[in-house]
Amino acid sequence: MEMATILHSSLPSLPFHNPVLHPKFPHSFSTKIDRRTSLFSQSLTISRPPPRKSLSTNCSVSDDTAFTTKVATVDPSIALKKKAMDISADLRGTSIFLVGMNNSIKSSLGKLLADLLRYYYFDSDALVSEAAGGESAAISLKESDEKGFRGSETEVLKQLSSMGRLVVCAGDGAVQSSTNLALLRYGISIWVDVPLDMVAKGIIEKKSQLLSSEIVNSGSYSEVLSQLTALYEDMRSGYATADATVSIQKVAYQLGYEDMDVVSKEDITMEVLKEIERLTRVKKMMEEAARPF
């Protein structure tokens, strides 16, 4: 079964876009794609995001001898929901691709962003793993057939880029070839720049091997950090081609946090939404400027 059939059967009601007509940002790479099909045959499943909850404000009443005062406690997610609603019209269902080092911060961000925008969420590495028969099988494929593994990454991105209303956590393979980078241009790409020491701690705690990278979890923080540093140097130029960058360090500085661990996924998501808003506004201005008088 082709990868296209696998993904399409999983999302029967998901809108697809013609790559020629799909609204996108200017191409910086060739989009000529080798239409190879995947050899995988596993089925993928995905459930719709839960219904959007209505916005609500909780109020508490404080009694005093002279008067009664109502104190409103604002749900911190309200600002995120409002920002997402504000940009939805101009976004027009354009997919969002998150690139950067694989870590729990990026995946948590992706899921929250998808929920806010009423999009579907995908992890490209997870799709490759599921199609191959599991994470262990995918790692074995990568070790025994590097070319075949990279081809499966491209096939997954090719299918995801033909869809709309997706938030995709893209693996490192997405920035390792001009073909894959060109596929990201069918949506908005955001580089989620997480400090390497935070990524290293996450790898040690999770005790697992990253699928699309060359990191081997030896259990030693210094060894993992050294591998991450080398990988980061190889990937940085690819990450930098993203339409925008959201740096955890910069977010912490803007919010006045001395400890970057204090930065929440809501803080990061708000910054991502602001970048998406900026990009969609620029695109809209360019379209309006191109219209004949």
On whether the CB atoms of residues 37 and 3 are closer than 8 A, the answer is yes
Q: What is the rounded end-to-end Cα distance, in angstroms, of the chain? A: 50
Architecture of domain 77-290: 3-Layer(aba) Sandwich (3.40)
d(CA 85, CA 72) in angstroms, rounded, equals 22
Domain boundaries, given as residue ranges, for the chain? 77-290
Q: pLDDT by residue for the chain (293 residues), tens digit each?
A: 455 555 555 554 444 444 333 445 444 333 333 333 333 334 444 444 444 444 334 434 444 444 344 444 556 689 999 999 999 999 999 999 999 998 899 999 999 999 999 999 999 988 988 888 888 888 888 888 888 888 999 999 999 999 999 999 998 889 989 999 999 999 999 999 999 999 998 888 875 555 555 677 777 888 989 999 999 999 999 999 999 999 999 999 999 999 999 999 999 999 999 999 999 999 888 878 887 76
